[in-house]
Amino acid sequence: MPVGRLARSIVCCLALAAGAAPVFAADEVFISNYYGGSIHIFPRASNGDVIRTRTIRTGLSLPHDVAIDLLHAELFVPNNHPAGQNPAINAYDLDAGSTGVGDAPKRTISGPATLLNRPAGLAVDSVHQELYVANDVDVNAAILVFPLSANGNVAPSRILQGALTTLMGPIGLALDLAHNELIVVSYKVDDGGSITTFTRTAQGNTAPLRTIQGPLTGFNRPQAVALDLVHNELIVANSFFDNTLSRGALLTFLRTATGNVAPIRQVTGANTGLCNPIGMTLDRMHDELFVTNAASNPACQPSMVVFARSASGNTAPLRAIGPGDNCDLNNPEGVAVTTTVDCSDPMVAAGTACDDNNPCTQGETCATSICSGGTPITVPGEIQDVTADVDKETYNWSPAARATRYDIVRGSLAALGVGPGDGDEVCFDDMDVPSVDDATVPATGQGFWYLARGVNACGAGSYGSRSDGTPRVTTTCP
C-alpha cells in the first residue's frame, strides 16, 4: 500500500519587525474631490492614471482641504458650505475606508455655535492639540481655533477676526511651531492676494506681524501655502482660478519676507502640468511638493502633480496622478501625505508613533526630537497544532505570535532526517498564512515530511529539535 503523507511541523518564533510603521504611517497620499464628495487615497509614489486603494465618502459634501494628526492617527476634512447650510469639520480614523474599518466620521464639528462659514483651509497643531480653520468669506473672514478633540455644536476656543487682520478670503494655512507663528494666505484682497503672518495664538482684531502683498508678488488668487523650515522658505500655490491667462504657478518666498517683494523662484510653464493649483503639501522626508490641479481652465484636466521641492522654471513634474478615469479626480483641492515620521520636525508631537529602523524593536514614539522607547522583540517559538486536511494536500497550523510570514520545507521520508539541504527537499517560502497546499503525490511506497517555521524582519525561527536535542538545520529555505 502507498504510504500516506506525514505532516510534522515545527514552527519557530515569528515577530513583527520592530518599529514597523502602523497602518496610518503608510506611504499614502490623500486627495479631496470637491465635487466628487470624497477623499481618494493612493500609494504615495503612484504615477499615472491609477486606481485608488480606498475612498472615504460618508459625511462629506464639498470637501476642501485635508489635514492629518499623526499623534492620534486622524484625518480632518471641512465641508465647504456657508453658514446655515450645514458647514462642518469631519474627523476620521486615518485608515478609514480600509476593509473592515468603514468610512464614517468619528466626530463632527457642526452647528451655529461653531461659527463655521464656508470652512476651507485647515491646519493641525498636534503639539498644542489645536485645529485651525479658515472661513473662506469676504466679509467677517476669520480663523477659528478648536481643540483637536472638539465634537458637535461647540464654540471656537479662539477667533482671529477684524479689520486689522486684513483677512479676506483666507484659505491657505501653515503653522510654524519653531517660531510660534501662523501663516495665512488670502486670495480676495487687493493686488491678487496676500500672505499674512501672525503669532500662533493671535486672536481678536489683531494686525499681522508681516504681510507679503503687491504687484511684484505675482499673486493671482493664491491658495495653499507650504512652510519649509529647513530652507526657511514659503511656497504658495498661485491658482489663477477662473483665469485663462495662465494655468498657474508655484511661488517661493523667504519665510521672513515682507512687503511688495518678488518670489525668489517659481515653477510655471507648459511643461509643469500645472492647471489651477489649489492644494499643496510638502513631504519633508522626500523633499517633494504635492500639488492638486483643480482644472477650472477648460484647456486641462484635474490631476495631482509632484515636484522636487527646489524645482524652478518650466520644469516637468517628477510624477502625477491623473488625469484619467481610473484615478477619478473631480476638482481635486486638498492634499496630504503620510510617510516615515520625522521626529525632528517641530510639527511632530511627542508620543507620535515612529520607526527607529531597528527590526528587533516595536512601539517606538517620538520624544525630544528622537525616535526611541521601543520594546525589544525576538523571533518566535515552534509551530504548534499542525493538522492535515483529509485530502492530504493542505496542511495548517496555529499562527505564531508576531509572525509575518512562514517557510515550509518538504522532504522525502526515505531521506529522513532533515537537511543539510539535500536534493530531496523542496522549499515553500514567504507564505503569508499559516497553511500550505502541495498537490505533489509521493511515489508508491514513499512519503513526505513537512516542517514549518515563522519568519520576521528580526530573523527566522527554528524548525525544532532532533531527538538528541540538537536543532534541525537545513539550507533548503534560505
Going residue by residue through the chain (478 aa), what tens digit of pLDDT does each one get?
222 233 322 222 222 222 333 333 589 999 999 999 999 999 999 999 999 999 999 999 999 999 999 999 999 999 999 999 999 999 999 999 998 899 999 999 999 999 999 999 999 999 999 999 999 999 999 999 999 999 999 999 999 999 999 999 999 999 999 999 999 999 999 989 999 999 999 999 999 999 999 999 999 999 999 999 999 999 999 999 877 778 999 999 999 999 999 999 999 999 999 999 999 999 999 999 999 999 888 888 999 999 999 999 999 999 999 999 999 999 999 999 999 999 999 999 999 999 998 888 889 999 999 999 989 888 888 888 888 888 888 989 889 888 889 998 988 888 777 887 767 889 898 889 999 999 898 888 888 888 889 998 888 888 888 888 888 888 888 7
| Amino acid letter, residue 205 | N
Geometric angle at alpha carbon 195, from 189 and 199, rounded to 5°: 120
- Residue 17: the pLDDT is 29
DSSP 8-state secondary structure symbol assigned to residue 333: E
Cα–Cα distance for residue pair 366/363, rounded to 1 Å = 10
State the sign of the Cα–Cα–Cα–Cα dihedral 107, 112, 118, 122: negative
Q: Determine the straight-line distance between the first and last CA of the chain, rounded to whole angstroms.
A: 35
Rg, C-alpha atoms of the chain: 28
Q: Which domains, and CATH codes, for the chain?
A: 1-16+377-478 (2.60.40), 23-338 (2.120.10.30)
Q: Work out the angle at residue 266's Cα, subtended by the Cα atoms of residues 263 and 267, and round it to the nearest 5 degrees.
A: 165
∠102-284-366 over CA atoms, to 5°?
A: 70
Torsion of CA 368, 370, 373, 376, to 10 degrees: -170
Task: Report residue 431: phi and psi, to 5°.
Answer: -80, 130
Q: Count CB atoms within 10 A of the CB of residue 157.
A: 13
What pLDDT does 422 receive? Answer: 67
Give me the half-sphere count of Cα atoms (radius 13 Å) on the Cβ side of residue 454.
26
Look-up of cell digits 518564533: 13
Contact 347, 127 (CB under 8 A): yes
**CA-CA distances (angstroms) from residue 243 to 168, 238, 239?**
19, 11, 9
Of the candidates 239, 315, 220, 225, the residue with the CA atom closest to the CA atom of residue 277: 239
**Given this model, what pLDDT does residue 443 score?**
86
Express the helix, strand and coil content of the chain in percent, nearest 5 each: 5, 40, 60
Using omega within 30 degrees of 0 as the cis cutoff, is the peptide bond preceding 112 cis?
A: no
3-state secondary structure of 25: helix
Taking the C-alpha atoms of residue 384 and residue 397, their distance in angstroms, rounded to an integer, is 6
Going by their DSSP bridges, the two strands 142-147 and 158-161 should be labelled as antiparallel
In eight-state DSSP terms, residue 48 is B
Q: How many CA atoms lie within 13 A of 436 on its CB side?
A: 23
Residue 250: how many CA atoms within 13 Å on its side-chain side? 33
